[in-house]
Amino acid sequence: MNTRKQAFDFAMREIRKNGITAKRNVKGCCRSCIVHPEPKDKPIIWHYGGQGNSFTWENDKPVLTYTPIWYDEDDKNVDSIYFNHSRLVADSGEITKAGQCVIETFQKHGFKIVWDKKITSCLELVF
């Protein structure tokens, strides 16, 4: 039986093996300033790790890497993370093969995905 951390790592690796760039804890001053050098036609998901959103694993649970001053020290557990994305939804509004792969892979590894499948909204991965 895999730990939650192992399940997350396996899912991310499997997504990458399917030709989708997958990153976590991407730093930047804000979500909109992050620039990716990947080809413009390659699908990508990324978890924004700036401004107190970075996480690590402690006792097989995701926790904030550091606790910002506006959080209580006991409030460092991470219940879910958000993935920004590109090329998971076609211009027509249909989910692409890459989008379907991301959803199915996380679900296969035991995670719940909350997403309205719109190009303008993030995927929420529930731990």
For residue 45, pLDDT over 90 is answered with yes
The C-alpha atoms of residue 44 and residue 59 are separated, in whole angstroms, by 29
Mean pLDDT across the chain: 88
For residue 104, pLDDT over 60 is answered with yes
Question: The tokens of 96 are what?
Answer: 């692409």
Q: Do residues 64 and 71 touch, judged by C-beta distance below 8 A?
A: yes
> What torsion, rounded to 10 degrees, do the Cα atoms 27, 31, 34, 38 define?
100
Average pLDDT over residues 109-122: 96
SS3 29: coil
Average pLDDT over residues 20-38: 73
CB neighbours of residue 97 within 10 Å:
13
17 against 34, higher pLDDT: 17
What share of the chain has pLDDT > 90, as a percent? 66
**Which of 17-26, 28-37, 83-92, 99-108 is predicted with the least confidence, judged by mean pLDDT?**
28-37
pLDDT tens digits for range 49-81: 877 788 999 999 999 887 666 666 667 889 999
Write down the pLDDT at residue 88: 96
SS3 31: helix
